[in-house]
């Protein structure tokens, strides 16, 4: 039981890692950069992807076309407030975001963020491992499993943690290459 819970937690941590990597600007346009921006939609906050069509017509451009033309100004304001380093260009019907070329300094800052996100994922894995080991230790104390089962489960838990650490490291290396490629 603890193994399944552990695997679910680690999958969620990996999903979160990939979401965060998707939000990082790599010099190529991606709808993930703006998908989650919260926009004031007639008094309630909604994600941008729920109130507009987001398209990538060119490698360095994002076009946002709201379904309600009255939302253009609110979307423009939300993008500006999101501090993405992008200047929205509003033509009354659509908003265009032109991604600037990344400087070497900015690329290095982004790589630091990539490593930070990977480390956050590894910390999550360690915390999940700790929780899972506590569960099996409690099962052993209550006589539900034997001491041999405990050792076996601990090895299985560690094997799973090592596997996910490797996945996080591979994702980190892949994203670093993606960011540093000019």
Assess if CATH 3.30.1360.40 describes domain 28-98.
Answer: yes
Q: What is the pTM of this model?
A: 0.73
Q: Considering the domain 2-22+103-180 in this protein, what is its CATH number?
A: 1.10.132.20
Residue whose C-alpha is closest to residue 86's, from 14, 159, 151, 33? 33
Cα–Cα separations (whole angstroms), residue 50 to 30, 34, 41, 57, 82: 16, 11, 10, 20, 17
In the chain, how long is the greatest CA-to-CA distance? 70
Residue ranges per domain, the chain? 2-22+103-180, 28-98
The per-residue pLDDT for 1 is 54
Do the domains spanning 2-22+103-180 and 28-98 agree at the CATH topology level?
no
Each residue's pLDDT expressed in tens, for the chain with a length of 182 residues:
578 888 999 999 999 998 888 877 676 777 888 887 899 888 888 888 889 999 999 888 899 999 988 889 999 999 888 877 778 888 888 999 888 787 888 888 889 989 999 999 999 999 999 999 999 999 989 988 888 988 999 999 999 999 999 999 999 999 998 888 76
Tell me the C-alpha distance between 165 and 181, whole Å: 24
The per-residue pLDDT for 173 is 94
Task: Read off φ and ψ for residue 92, nearest 5 degrees.
Answer: 95, -30
Q: Which two tokens stand for residue 94?
A: 């659509």
């Amino acid at each position: 039981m603890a193994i399944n819970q552990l695997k679910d937690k680690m999958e969620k941590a990996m999903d979160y890692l990939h979401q965060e990597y998707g939000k990082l600007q790599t010099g190529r346009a991606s709808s993930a950069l703006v998908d989650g921006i919260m926009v004031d939609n007639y008094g309630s906050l909604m994600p941008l992807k729920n109130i507009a069509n987001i398209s990538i017509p060119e490698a360095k451009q994002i076009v946002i076309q709201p379904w309600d033309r009255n939302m253009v100004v609110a979307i423009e304001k939300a993008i500006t407030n999101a501090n993405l380093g992008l200047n929205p260009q509003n033509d009354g019907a659509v908003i265009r975001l032109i991604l600037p070329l990344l400087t070497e300094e900015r690329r290095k800052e982004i790589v630091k963020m990539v490593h930070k996100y990977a480390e956050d994922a590894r910390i999550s894995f360690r915390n999940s491992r700790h929780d899972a080991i506590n569960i099996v230790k409690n099962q052993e104390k209550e006589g539900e499993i034997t001491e041999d089962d405990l050792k076996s489960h601990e090895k299985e838990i560690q094997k799973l943690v090592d596997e996910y650490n490797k996945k996080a490291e591979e994702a980190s290396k892949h994203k670093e290459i993606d960011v540093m490629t000019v």
